[in-house]
């Protein structure tokens, strides 16, 4: 009798201590060391659709540097459909040809930004298609000719050759860098990490009760979060521990998280991003939606910053190349073409705890107009002042300086 | 050890940034930079161009002779002109400033590894425009190296191709003419206008000539001598050795000589020597001595010259065929790289600091 009383007391005490630790924050989160989550011994992580779209993007930007490829084929790569909407097989990989998914259908397609903004969505998609068409109609015919101010063609950048339009812009870079925002970032930040998608329908109830999607091993909410994860890590050799290779795994968001990580001013960002994905996912498993959303806000902040830093970086690199006694036009145009795409991508960033991007669609358009507006020949005429003004404008909205981002 | 190393880096960063404070805008010494520029232009650079042009003219003549009468004799003569001109190139390659920078001379005259498929495609189509950036790796000395030594299985087979294929002879001729024409144009621009601009910009700003030439010198030493000729083939930047990335890959006997010639030119310019080895008292070494620059109790100029010697010793230990060296015993190649690298620190950090000149180039991120 006496002993059992003591046991009871001890038990009571443990309970008190335990809940004290957890501070009434609902269920406790079991965070694994890697991004691996299982149900009944089977993985619940899946993002094959994101992997496929990254791979489609790689094929598209590579084909945009091959003048033997037609506009029709490039557009089929973008849409994964023929012009009339039929099944297309534009890719070198059979698996991608078999896919029903496409890049185009997910460009500027997030629930938060575009579900009631289809006019802007259409304008953005049309812009991508215009760049693709222009590469074929303006640049391919001049592939074996020299570029000069106002005339498309090739231009030297050290030992590399760049192919630019009449304004000095590389369309392949515009498509490549703008997809980082319009596809990867928009889908991750404004679609899959948003409550509109995560908590849609019966997602919370099903997730609370462990009810999995039809024929799947994951709950719908788990899968949505993984799809955001996949837009960053979808082509990583180690899906569960991708930090070591971040920067080397694609030509899109992964690459530039790696590049920003490589700048001492921002070291640690790559790990913070991964940790937030991991903790948010663990919070979903635990049913702790407040914590999930805290991590989503963190991801919005950090991933948006990657875009801002790279935009400023390339504007500054371009400025340095063009400001030399003997201007390095080829190097400068290449940098600024990348910068153009990163500026374009700014409209898909997301301020934490807000419905808004760091820069609106209209602001981005106006910045791009400024970038090309110093003379009639676009980048051939751009001044250091314009490049600095744009750099400052971007850095001012984030918590970094032009100096930190620019080198 | 590692801690000590980071401490050293930190210390050098600190001292570097502290001297950078004034933006590198004003010269703090009384060294006669104007006289230095005059000497560089008239006693070193322009004579070096003139010397090279004699050799490239000879190359052109030999190529024409082979074109007209292809046989073993004209081929042997052309090979000898090729070696002379390629060695001569090493003494002007470091002057990538002004008109040479504008046309991208080095990228057109000596881009290697050469694009052998592209060269064969050009010969087959018969139409090619060497002005295009995309054609830079299909021309210059590396293209000639391939055509004269590597375009068939062995020496006899190469001669057969040359005798039988007019397109190949034409390509050899066009490539030789292009080298001569490019350098001629650069020299003409120097004489007609750039010399005047070069010698007149004698103050210490980022765009004045001493600052630019010094930066171009350091850039050349680091990127083209140390990395291009030794580090890249040795696998320093790729992890795995790249024996196909040596200079004069197909000739096999010339690689080490080219490297030694480049080293001699780099050291010669450092010491203010002209092409025939005469000192004119206006080299980096004289500037350093004027400033009485001392490092660890020794004259910096002497330290740098001693290090040039050490690099030369290490290179002398290499096989004539650097490609073979990389394959057979890459350790010696790495040793040569280390000796070259030691001078990067003395030149790029200590010397530039003494001159109060800021580095104007950074490593690009490579995309």
> What residues of chain B have any CB closer than 8 angstroms to a CB in chain A?
98, 101-102, 104, 107, 111, 129, 131-134, 136-137, 207, 212, 360, 362, 364-365, 367
The rounded distance, in Å, linking the Cα atoms of B246 and B252 is: 9
Are A144 and B365 inside 8 Å of each other by CB?
Answer: no
Please check the confidence at residue A17 and state whether its pLDDT lies above 70.
no
| Predicted pLDDT at B361 | 79
Please check the confidence at residue A8 and state whether its pLDDT lies above 60.
no
| Predicted pLDDT at A198 | 97
Spatial CA neighbour of B349 closest among B97, B2, B15, B3: B15
Please identify among residues 212-271 of chain A the ones whose CB lies closer than 8 Å to any CB of chain B: 259, 262
Please check the confidence at residue A15 and state whether its pLDDT lies above 70.
no
The rounded distance, in Å, linking the Cα atoms of B218 and A44 is: 55
Tell me which chain A residue has its CA closest to the CA of residue B109: A159
Residue with tokens 């920067």: A247
- What ipTM, to 2 d.p.? 0.74
- Beta-ladder partners of A42: A39
**Confidence grade of residue A3 (pLDDT, cut at 50, 70, 90):** low
Sign, CA dihedral A112-A118-A120-A125, equals positive
pLDDT digits (tens, 9 = 90+) for A25-65: 556 899 999 999 999 999 999 999 999 999 999 999 999 99
Residues from chain A contacting residue B134 (CB–CB below 8 Å): 144, 154, 161
**Secondary structure of chain A in the HEC alphabet?**
CHHHHHHHHHHHHHHHHHHHHHCCCCCCCCCCCCCCCEECCEECCCCHHHHHHHHHHHHHHHHCCCCCCCHHHHHHHHHCECCCCCECCCCCCHHHHHCCCCCHHHCCCCHHHHCCCHHHHHHHHHHHHHHHHHHHHHHHHHCCCECECCECEEEEECCEEEEECCCCCCHHHHHHHHHHHHHHHHHHHHHHCCHHHHCCCCHHHHHHHCCCCCCCCCCHHHHHHHHHHHHHHCCCCCCCCCHHHCCCCCCCHHHHHHHHHCCHHHCCHHHHHHHHHHHHHHHHHHCCHHHHHHHHHHHHHHHHHHHHHHHHHHHHHHHHHHCCCCCCHHHHHHHHHHHHHHHHHHHHCCCCCCCCCCCCHHHHHHHHHHHCCCCCCHHHCCCHHHHHHHHHHHHHHCCCCHHHHHC
| Predicted pLDDT at A10 | 53
- SS3 for B273? strand
Please check the confidence at residue A309 and state whether its pLDDT lies above 60.
yes
- Give B90's contacts (C-beta < 8 A, 6+ positions apart): B258, B261, B262, B264, B265
- SS3 for B323? helix
| Predicted pLDDT at B26 | 45
Are B111 and A407 inside 8 Å of each other by CB?
Answer: no
The rounded distance, in Å, linking the Cα atoms of B264 and B312 is: 9
Are A159 and B129 inside 8 Å of each other by CB?
Answer: no
pLDDT digits (tens, 9 = 90+) for B90-121: 999 999 999 999 999 999 999 999 999 999 99
**Confidence grade of residue A144 (pLDDT, cut at 50, 70, 90):** very high
Please check the confidence at residue A354 and state whether its pLDDT lies above 60.
yes
B304 close to B270: Cβ distance less than 8 angstroms: yes
- Give A1's contacts (C-beta < 8 A, 6+ positions apart): none
Query: Closest to B131 (Cβ–Cβ): which among A146, A159, A338?
Result: A146
Residues from chain B contacting residue A338 (CB–CB below 8 Å): 367
Are A161 and B132 inside 8 Å of each other by CB?
Answer: yes
| Predicted pLDDT at B184 | 98
Touching check for A159 and chain B: CB below 8 Å? Answer: yes
Name the phi and psi angles at B60, rounded to 5.
-65, -45
The rounded distance, in Å, linking the Cα atoms of B308 and B292 is: 20
Return the DSSP state at B291.
T
Which burial class, exposed, middle or buried, applies to A33 when counting CB atoms under 10 A from its CB (0-12, 13-18, 19+)? exposed
The rounded distance, in Å, linking the Cα atoms of B325 and A73 is: 47
The CA-based angle A251-A161-B181, given to 5 degrees, is: 165
Query: Closest to A144 (Cβ–Cβ): which among B102, B132, B212?
Result: B132
Number of neighbouring beta carbons within 10 Å of residue B79: 18
Residues from chain A contacting residue B362 (CB–CB below 8 Å): 407
Q: Which regions in chain B score pLDDT beneath 70?
A: 1-28, 362-367
Please check the confidence at residue A16 and state whether its pLDDT lies above 80.
no
Across chain B, what does the average pLDDT equal?
Answer: 91
- Give B11's contacts (C-beta < 8 A, 6+ positions apart): none
Which tokens go with A215?
A: 């024929």
Touching check for A154 and chain B: CB below 8 Å? Answer: yes
pLDDT digits (tens, 9 = 90+) for A95-116: 999 988 999 999 999 999 999 8
Cis peptide leading into residue B113 (ω within 30°): yes
Residues from chain B contacting residue A157 (CB–CB below 8 Å): 133
Spatial CA neighbour of A356 closest among A107, A109, A108, A113: A113
| Predicted pLDDT at A25 | 54
The rounded distance, in Å, linking the Cα atoms of A255 and A58 is: 12
Q: Pick left, alpha or beta for residue A164 (phi over 0 → left; psi -120 to 50 → alpha; otherwise beta).
A: beta
Q: How distant is the Cα of A207 from the closest Cα of chain B, in angstroms? A: 43
| Predicted pLDDT at B366 | 44
The rounded distance, in Å, linking the Cα atoms of B234 and B331 is: 9
Question: What are the CB-based long-range contacts (under 8 Å, 24+) for B73-81?
Answer: B75/B148, B75/B159, B75/B162, B78/B148, B78/B172, B79/B148, B79/B149, B81/B55
Name the phi and psi angles at A405, rounded to 5.
-80, -25
Across chain A, what does the average pLDDT equal?
Answer: 93
Q: What is the mean pLDDT of residues A5-28?
A: 53
Q: What is the dihedral of CA A55, A56, A61, A67, to 10 degrees?
A: 130
Return the DSSP state at B46.
H
| Predicted pLDDT at A325 | 85
């Amino acid at each position: 009798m006496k002993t059992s009383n003591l046991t009871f007391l001890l038990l009571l005490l443990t309970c008190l201590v335990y809940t004290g630790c957890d501070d009434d924050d609902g269920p406790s989160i079991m965070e694994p060391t890697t991004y691996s989550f299982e149900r009944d011994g089977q993985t619940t992580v899946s993002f094959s659709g994101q992997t496929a779209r990254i791979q489609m993007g790689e094929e598209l930007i590579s084909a945009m540097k091959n003048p033997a490829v037609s506009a029709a084929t490039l557009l089929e790569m973008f849409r994964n459909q023929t012009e009339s909407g039929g099944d297309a097989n534009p890719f070198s990989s059979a698996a991608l040809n078999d896919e029903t998914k496409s890049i185009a259908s997910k460009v500027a397609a997030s629930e938060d930004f575009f579900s009631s903004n289809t006019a802007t969505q259409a304008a953005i998609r049309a812009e991508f298609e215009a760049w693709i068409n222009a590469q074929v109609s303006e640049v391919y015919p001049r592939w074996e000719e020299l570029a000069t101010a106002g005339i498309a063609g090739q231009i030297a950048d050290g030992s590399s050759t760049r192919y630019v339009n009449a304004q000095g812009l590389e369309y392949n870079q515009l498509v490549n860098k703008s997809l980082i925002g319009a596809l990867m970032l928009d889908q991750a930040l404004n679609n899959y990490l948003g409550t509109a998608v995560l908590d849609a329908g019966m997602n919370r109830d099903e997730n609370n009760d462990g009810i999995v999607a039809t024929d799947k091993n994951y709950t719908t909410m788990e899968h949505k979060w993984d799809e955001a994860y996949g837009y960053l890590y979808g082509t990583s050799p180690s899906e569960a521990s991708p930090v070591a290779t971040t920067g080397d795994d694609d030509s899109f968001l992964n690459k530039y998280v790696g590049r920003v990580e490589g700048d001492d001013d921002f070291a640690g960002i790559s790990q913070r991003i991964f940790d937030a994905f991991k903790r948010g996912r663990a919070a979903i498993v635990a049913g702790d939606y407040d914590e999930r959303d805290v991590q989503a806000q963190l991801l919005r902040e950090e991933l948006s910053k990657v875009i801002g830093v790279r935009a400023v970086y390339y504007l500054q690199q371009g400025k340095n190349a063009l400001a030399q006694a003997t201007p390095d036009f080829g190097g400068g145009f290449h940098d600024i073409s990348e910068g153009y795409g990163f500026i374009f991508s700014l409209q898909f960033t997301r301020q934490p705890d807000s419905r808004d991007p760091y820069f609106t669609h209209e602001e981005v358009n106006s910045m791009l107009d400024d970038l090309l507006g110093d003379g009639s020949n676009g980048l051939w005429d751009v001044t250091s002042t314009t490049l600095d003004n744009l750099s400052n404008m971007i850095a001012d909205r984030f918590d970094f300086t032009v100096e930190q981002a620019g080198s | 050890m590692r801690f000590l190393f980071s401490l050293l880096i930190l210390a050098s960063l600190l001292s570097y940034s502290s001297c950078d404070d004034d933006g590198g805008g004003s010269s703090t010494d009384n060294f006669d930079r104007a006289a230095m520029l005059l000497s560089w232009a008239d006693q070193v650079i322009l004579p070096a161009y003139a010397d090279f042009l004699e050799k490239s003219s000879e190359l052109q003549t030999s190529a024409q002779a082979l074109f007209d009468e292809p046989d073993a004799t004209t081929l042997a003569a052309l090979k000898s002109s090729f070696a002379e001109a390629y060695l001569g190139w090493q003494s002007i390659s470091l002057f990538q400033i002004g008109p040479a920078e504008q046309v991208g001379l080095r990228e057109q005259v000596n881009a290697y590894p050469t694009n052998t498929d592209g060269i064969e495609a050009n010969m087959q189509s018969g139409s090619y425009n060497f002005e295009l950036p995309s054609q830079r790796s299909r021309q210059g000395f590396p293209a000639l190296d391939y055509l004269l030594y590597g375009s068939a299985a062995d020496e006899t087979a190469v001669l057969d191709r040359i005798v039988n294929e007019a397109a190949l002879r034409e390509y050899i001729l066009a490539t030789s003419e292009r080298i001569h024409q490019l350098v001629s144009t650069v020299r003409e621009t120097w004489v007609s206008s750039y010399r005047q601009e070069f010698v007149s910009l004698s103050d210490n700003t980022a765009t004045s000539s001493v600052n630019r030439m010094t930066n171009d010198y350091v850039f050349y030493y680091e990127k083209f001598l140390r990395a291009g000729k030794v580090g890249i083939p040795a696998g320093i930047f790729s992890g795995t050795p790249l024996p196909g990335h040596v200079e004069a890959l197909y000739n096999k006997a010339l690689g080490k000589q080219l490297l030694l010639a480049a080293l001699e030119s780099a050291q010669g310019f450092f010491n203010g020597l002209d092409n025939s080895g005469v000192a004119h008292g206006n080299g980096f070494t004289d500037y350093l001595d004027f400033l009485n620059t001392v490092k660890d109790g020794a004259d910096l100029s002497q330290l740098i010259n001693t290090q040039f010697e050490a690099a030369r010793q290490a290179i002398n230990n290499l096989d004539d065929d650097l490609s073979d060296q990389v394959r057979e015993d890459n350790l010696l190649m790495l040793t040569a790289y280390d000796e070259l690298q030691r001078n990067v620190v003395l030149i790029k950090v200590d010397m530039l600091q003494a001159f109060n000149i800021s580095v104007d180039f950074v490593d690009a991120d490579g995309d």
